[in-house]
Each structure stands twice: as structure tokens, then as C-alpha cells.
Amino acid sequence: MTSTRKAYFVGGGIGSLAGAAFLIRDGGMPGTQISILEAGSVLGGSLDGAGDADRGYSMRGGRMLTTDNYECTWALFKSIPSLAQPGRSVFEETLDFNEKHVSHAMARLVDSRRARVPVASMGFSMHDRVELLKLASADEAALGTSCITDHLSPGFFTTEFWFMWATTFAFQPWHSAVEFRRYLHRFMLEFSRIETLAGVKRTVLNQYDSLVVPLQRWLQAQGVHLVTECTVTDLDHRTEDGKFEVIALHCTVKGQAETRQLEHGDLVFVQNGSMTDASSLGSMGSAPAKLEKAHNGSWTLWEKLADGRPSFGRPAAFNSCVAQSNWVSFTVTLKDPAFFDQMQRFSGNDAGTGGLVTFKDSNWLMSIVLAHQPHFANQPAGVQVFWGYGLFPDRIGNFVAKAMADCTGAELLQELCGHLRFDLDTVATGNCIPCRMPYITSMFMPRAPGDRPPPVPEHTSNFAFISQFVEIPLDTVFTVEFSVRAAQMAVYQLLGIAKPIPPVTPHDKSLRTQFDALVKALK
Ligand SMILES: Cc1cc2nc3c(=O)[nH]c(=O)nc-3n(C[C@H](O)[C@H](O)[C@H](O)COP(=O)(O)OP(=O)(O)OC[C@H]3O[C@@H](n4cnc5c(N)ncnc54)[C@H](O)[C@@H]3O)c2cc1C
């Protein structure tokens, strides 16, 4: 590789940050030759976390990770120094934390009587078991663009298993059967511990502070150019030897048009689409604005590139139906321990050990998580922060006569206290910031082969996609791991790096013989 070769990442999500780290660590590219161009004002994309005790904290998501999967992610974070523990890696710091704060949910499901639902049994009938096994053993090609409901009968969606699996991974009944099947295989170890979430690992703080900031600092120390408020609006290309080669990037930087010309041999990595595109925040007194893809533009570049080029995928398969891909999350900042105290007594879990508490009969299918405190690097003592979400934001609440998507932060707290039968005084100091995400499960929409391009599409020479919308055999999409793996695949292929990429761990294969025998017996 020439030392003057440059690399450009379009988008500054974890996929691009990881890609830049792989270029430096494994490809030997100087950091000073790499630029990350991000439309927003901070890096990290969906892995955000911001605010302070007075204005209130907010994060669009709270992440569950595992160490039995996430092979590429942890291999990367073994190379990234911890900011809190000098001499140790982010991986080691995270592992230590999880040894001290072990997940063991005691109140995974709560019903309409405010009772903790016994979850030792998954609630399956024999019919449910047969259908689930059939779906798990079907070929992806045979499943095609079918939905989960095409394979599982209505009774399945009332089982304890469904409530726990769906809220852990954010599945809806109308989502892709192919993706659901992949989750059954990839997370097979979670079957036996889904009721306690014992396999789940957490970061020390929220994922912006614990993953994005250390990675960003490491990249900055290597000289990587981090450019924010820079939207890449189009690419110029030429075709040489039948191959698509990007030769210029058209950007809008702080409102000004700018063009970056590329030299032969330079590389371009594009984040095509974003699950948090067009997301919006509300406040205690206002509901989040209803934005759609035209307001933001994370999809626009992919739509332009894919137009007339089938090998670049089909964004319309994912971003065409907000009603099937949206939900609402919320972050609550409190300055009085009353809520945490009551919640810890009710659930039997100290904050940080319980994971999701799902109100299974709630119209919004609402869940909350009390993380270990503090959850933000700048969170003062005496302040508590928790996160929650609802999978059905278009339905009227049980305690507030409004659709969740139309609710203010104050109304979300009222609904939550209704399910918990807590006095509203418990959250009197609460500052609840709702967040609407119209495309949050767009990656789960039913898809056909070719709807997602491979990280490096055929007949391209210097160009790759890194995102939640590429095809990676066997891997599951709504994960940090998927974006990191896409980045590693793209970088290794474009640079011709011969080192192995950590494979998807075949947890399902060890259970395979047993599983195949069961399927046969049940036919
Ligand atoms: C609510 C929620 C819960 C989640 N829970 C989990 C979980 O439990 N476990 C787990 O592993 N993962 C979870 N995730 C998923 C995980 O956070 C994402 O998969 C991951 O962060 C996606 O990273 P990315 O880099 O691929 O894309 P993104 O984070 O979407 O980043 C893409 C970036 O590219 C920018 N961009 C796009 N187009 C352009 C352009 N043309 N010019 C400039 N910039 C552009 C966007 O502004 C954005 O910042 C969750 C996510 C959310 C939101």
C-alpha cells in the first residue's frame, strides 16, 4: 500500500470508528490518512448518550451485549485502552465490571395485576414447540420474505417466551422470519437463561461513554481526522476495467458545499442507512416531533447509489413502512432515590443486576431497565438515570388516553407509575425525555436475497458499505457486533488482509444433533 493512500468513512457510527481502527491496527495505514465524515455534531451514531443532571440525560438506546457472541467487537476492544483504568483495555474493564455486577433478573415480566410472572416455564404448547422447531430448522431460501406470523400460530405470541425474546431483541410479529431464525441460532445459549438475562453483559457506563469515547480518543491519538456536521450528498465515480471506482465525494459542511477529490487507490466506506435516522427528542412538556427520512438524509445517499444498480441493494425493502419499524424510548433523570428504592424492593434486583422489566399486558408493551449507577461519566452523586421503551407506540396507553408516540415525558411517567402502582410523588423530581425512532427496527423488515449488498459489492474497486444493511452470512443484525463485523470484512477485503476474521461462534452446532433428532421426532 502506498503511504499516501487515503481512506474516507461516510458516517461516524461505531461501524466507521471500528473500520478506521482496523485500517490502522491490521492494515498499517497511518491514522493521518483517514477521515471520518459525520452528518451529526458528535460521533457514535446510534450509540449516543448526552446531557447533564440539570437538563436531563438522554440516550436513544441501552445495550445488552454478550461475551459468548460479539467476537469481532471484543477482539477490537482488547486493543483499545480503558480511560478509567490505565494499562487495561476496554474489554478487560468491561469483563471486570460484569464479574462484580452479575445479571440475574428477578422480575423479567410483570402482569396487569402488578404481579411478577413466574417464568421458569416458557409457556409453550406442544404445537408451539413443533412450529418453532420447524422454523428454526428451515432454510433461509425457503423462508424468503415471509414474516414470523407466517410460521407461528397466534398462541405462540402469548407465551412467556415470546414476551421475553421479543422485548430482549425488539422483534415484532410482522418482522422477517429469516432474521428471527438467525437469532434463534446465534443466541441459542440465551434460550436456557432468557428469563434471568444471565448471559447479558453491560458496559460500565452508557455505551457512548464506555465504547465510543475510548475508541474515538484512540483514533484521535493516531491522527484520524474526525469531521462532524459534514453530510456526504453524492459520490462521483468512473468505471475502469468494468469496476466502479469512486473519484470524488460531494459534501455539505456546516451548510457549505465542498468536494473532496480522490486519488487512484483511495478508499471509501459508506454507512448506508441508519436505524436512528429521523429520530427526535421530546421533553417533559412536549412529545417528540414526527420526522421521516426526508428530514435527515441517512438513507438518501444509499438510495442514490442503489438507483439502477441492483448489486448495491434495495433500501426500499427497509425504509418504506414507518408503522412497522418505529418505536419510542425514554430516558429518565431523577434527583431523589425514592423511585430506585421502590423499584429495587419490588423487583428484588439492585440496579444493574436486573435487566429489562417488561409490563407484558401493557398496551405499549413497555419495558424499563435500571442500570448500575452512575450511568454517565458526568453524573453527580444523588442523581439516578434509567431507560425504557415501548414496542407499540401507536396504541393508546392503559393509564394515559393517548398513543405513546404522542405523549410528553410527564405522560410517560404517569403511565409507568400506573403499571407499577407507584405514587406519582415517586417521580416528582423526574425529567423524562422521550425519543421517537421511526426506523428503529427497519433492519428487521422482511427481506429478499440482494436487498442487502455485501460489504464490498461485486465490480467495485475502492468502495464498501458498512452498516446494519449489508449481508453477512449467519450474523444477527440489531447488534453492535454486526456493524463491527461489517467493518472488519470491508477493510480486510479492500486491503487484502489475510488474517482471519473471528468467526460467528457456532453455539447452535453443539446442540445440533440433539436438535435434528427432535425435529425428526416431531414431524
Ligand atoms: C434503542 C436501541 C437499542 C439497541 N440495543 C442494542 C442492544 O441491546 N445490543 C446491541 O448490540 N445493539 C443494540 N443496538 C444497536 C446498535 O446500537 C447499532 O446496531 C449500532 O450502533 C449501529 O451502528 P452503525 O455504525 O452501523 O450505524 P449508526 O449508528 O446508525 O451510524 C450511522 C451514522 O452515519 C451517519 N450518516 C449516514 N449517512 C451519512 C452521510 N451521507 N453523510 C454523513 N453521515 C452520514 C449518521 O448520521 C449516523 O451517525 C441498539 C440501538 C438502539 C438505537
d(CA 471, CA 476): 10
Report which DSSP code applies to 42.
Answer: S
List, chain by chain if needed, residues with CB within 6 Å of any ligand 1 atom: 10-15, 37-40, 45-47, 60-61, 63-65, 231-232, 271, 274-276, 298, 301, 329, 440, 467-468, 478-480, 483
Q: Mutation test of ligand 1: which of 36, 103, 249, 275 has the most ligand atoms closer than 8 Å to its C-beta?
A: 275
Residue written as grid cell 483504568: 85
Of 241, 322, 318, 332, the C-alpha closest to 274 is: 318
State in Å: Cα 44 to ligand 1 middle: 7
State in Å: Cα 480 to ligand 1 middle: 8
Report which DSSP code applies to 289.
Answer: P
Q: What is the pLDDT along the chain (523 residues), one digit of tens a residue?
A: 557 899 999 999 999 999 999 999 999 999 999 999 999 999 999 999 999 999 999 999 999 999 999 999 999 999 999 999 999 999 999 999 999 999 999 999 999 999 999 998 899 999 999 999 999 999 999 999 999 999 999 999 999 999 999 999 999 999 999 999 999 999 999 888 888 999 999 999 999 999 999 999 999 999 999 999 999 999 999 999 999 999 999 999 999 999 999 999 999 999 999 999 999 999 999 999 999 998 888 899 999 999 999 999 999 999 999 999 999 999 999 999 999 999 999 999 999 999 899 999 999 999 999 999 999 999 999 999 999 999 999 999 999 999 999 999 999 999 999 999 999 999 999 999 999 999 999 999 999 999 999 999 999 999 999 999 999 999 999 999 999 999 999 999 999 999 999 999 988 876 555 555 555 545 4
d(CA 108, CA 320): 33
Q: DSSP states of 382-450 as a string?
A: T-EEEEEEES-TTSBPSSSSSBGGG--HHHHHHHHHHHHT--GGGGTT-EEEEEEETTTTGGGS---TT
Which run of H or E residues covers position 279?
none
Q: DSSP states of 290-354 as a string?
A: ---HHHH-TTHHHHHHHTT-GGG--THHHHS-GGGT-EEEEEEEESSTHHHHHHHHHHS--TTTS
State in Å: Cα 98 to ligand 1 middle: 24
Give the per-residue pLDDT at 217. Answer: 98
Ligand 1 atom closest to the Cα of residue 296 is: 47
Which residue type, as a one-letter code, is found at position 442? Answer: S
SS3 assignment, position 56: strand
SS (H, E, C) 471-500: CCCCCCCCCHHHHHHHHHHHHHHHHCCCCC
Specify the residue with its C-alpha closest to ligand 1, atom 26. Answer: 467
Helix 409-420 crosses helix 338-347 at what angle (to 10 degrees)? 40
With 0-12 CB in 10 A as exposed, 13-18 as middle and 19+ as buried, what is 115? exposed
Ligand 1 atom closest to the Cα of residue 477 is: 19
Specify the residue with its C-alpha closest to ligand 1, atom 38. Answer: 298
In order of 201, 203, 352, 375, the CA distances from 62 in angstroms are 12, 10, 12, 10
Q: Mutation test of ligand 1: which of 74, 235, 274, 304 has the most ligand atoms closer than 8 Å to its C-beta?
A: 274
d(CA 466, CA 460): 15
Residue written as grid cell 401493557: 362
Tens of pLDDT, residues 314-372? 999 999 999 999 999 999 999 999 999 999 999 999 999 998 999 999 999 999 999 99
Specify the residue with its C-alpha closest to ligand 1, atom 51. Answer: 61
Ligand 1 atom closest to the Cα of residue 251 is: 42
Q: Mutation test of ligand 1: which of 59, 63, 94, 186 has the most ligand atoms closer than 8 Å to its C-beta?
A: 63
**Cell reading at 131:** 412450529
Specify the residue with its C-alpha closest to ligand 1, atom 6. Answer: 63
Specify the residue with its C-alpha closest to ligand 1, atom 36. Answer: 11
Give the per-residue pLDDT at 120. Answer: 86
